[in-house]
């Protein structure tokens, strides 16, 4: 495990301002992060700040982000205390724009949502909410494989154990440790016997390591996925052992930010739909797909807003 210490008082070497497409609700984003703990992040809701490690290429960089401006004129102040080349600066900003869905225009989606009566209140209550995406497609797929058929808390624990085993740790000036997700090369060097003591099942361990090796040996080309249609991506990735359609759909939604995916088997979506649409019973997959036809071509965003309704109730926000 590599440790990178950042010296106190070191000159600020790179800062930038990243503009965002309005409306953008930092409050909603930070509230969601509070209920979705991630060992890679340090969030301060009061100060609207977030610190985390981003990989620029394979290099882990600790970045501080300050969410600023207003919902209608939003921007992020970025700074890091390491020297970055021009190409590294460009890559870091591109990654951050991706992670925070900076270029998603919610206005046409809201116009569409207002035609679905039950969704109208959500466009008002959660105005400016958008998905925070995974920073790279390797991490996104591994986290999804880890999360298959186990609860969120156990999935988060396994993810943290993998990071502690094969990732990088950075320590800031206050002594706080930040974990960087392991690279595909680091995971490809592991054996299932390395993961079994961490409570990974034999199959889960094999699937994760096989996936990392497929990327390293060129069988899976993550960069090429961005040029593919959804169906092509599904066909390309489900050829790998342990990766099914649901897994790839999660990758496209949370890793790639594809706008029109419907995770119809998701229990949170079932609960949320029953509440928002005031259904007598929880809808099954078939019923969710039927309702979701009216959500095209933005089913991913509709799903996020349904999930947020469930989260708002869990956080005991007032619900009219």
Q: What's the chain's length in residues?
A: 320
Q: Which of 96, 104, 60 is nearest to 78 (CA)?
A: 96
Greatest CA separation for the chain: 60
Contact 33, 130 (CB under 8 A): no
Q: Is the peptide bond before 126 cis (omega within 30 degrees of 0)?
A: no
Residue 92 CB-density burial (10 A; 0-12 exposed, 13-18 middle, 19+ buried):
buried
Q: Which of 38, 210, 266, 294 is catalytic?
A: 266
Close Cβ partners of 199 (under 8 Å, ≥ 6 residues apart): 157, 158, 161
Close Cβ partners of 21 (under 8 Å, ≥ 6 residues apart): 102, 103, 104, 105, 106
Examine the residue annotation and report whether 103 is marked as an active-site residue of this protein. Answer: no
Alpha-carbon distance 28 to 307, whole Å? 12
Neighbours of 176 (CB within 10 A): 11
Where in the sequence numbering do the catalytic residues fall? 266
């Amino acid at each position: 495990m590599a440790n990178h210490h950042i010296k106190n008082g070191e000159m600020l070497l790179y800062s930038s301002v990243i503009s965002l497409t309005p409306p953008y609700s930092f409050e909603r984003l930070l509230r969601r992060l509070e209920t979705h703990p991630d060992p890679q992040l340090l969030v301060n809701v009061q100060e609207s700040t977030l610190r985390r490690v981003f990989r620029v290429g394979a290099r882990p960089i600790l970045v501080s982000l300050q969410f600023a401006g207003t919902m209608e004129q939003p921007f992020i102040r970025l700074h890091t205390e390491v020297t970055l080349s021009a190409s590294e600066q460009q890559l870091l900003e591109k990654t951050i724009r991706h992670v925070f869905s900076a270029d998603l225009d919610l206005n046409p989606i809201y116009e569409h949502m207002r035609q679905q009566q039950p969704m109208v209140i959500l466009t008002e209550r959660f105005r400016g909410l958008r998905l925070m995406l995974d920073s790279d497609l390797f991490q996104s797929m591994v986290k999804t494989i880890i999360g298959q058929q186990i609860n969120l808390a156990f999935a988060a624990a396994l993810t943290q154990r993998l990071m502690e085993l094969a990732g990088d740790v950075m320590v800031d000036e206050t002594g706080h440790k930040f974990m960087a997700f392991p690279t595909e090369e680091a995971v490809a060097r592991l054996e299932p016997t390395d993961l079994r003591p961490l409570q990974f099942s034999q199959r889960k361990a094999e699937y994760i390591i096989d996936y990392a090796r497929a990327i390293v040996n060129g069988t899976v080309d993550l960069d090429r996925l961005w040029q593919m249609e959804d169906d092509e991506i599904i066909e390309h990735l489900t050829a790998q052992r342990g990766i099914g359609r649901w897994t790839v759909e999660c990758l496209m939604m949370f890793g790639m930010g594809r706008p029109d995916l419907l995770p119809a088997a998701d229990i949170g979506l079932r609960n949320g739909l029953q509440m928002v649409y005031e259904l007598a019973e929880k809808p099954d997959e078939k019923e969710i797909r039927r309702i979701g036809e009216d959500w095209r071509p933005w089913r991913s965003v509709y799903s996020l807003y349904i999930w947020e309704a469930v989260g708002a109730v869990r956080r005991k926000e007032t619900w009219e």
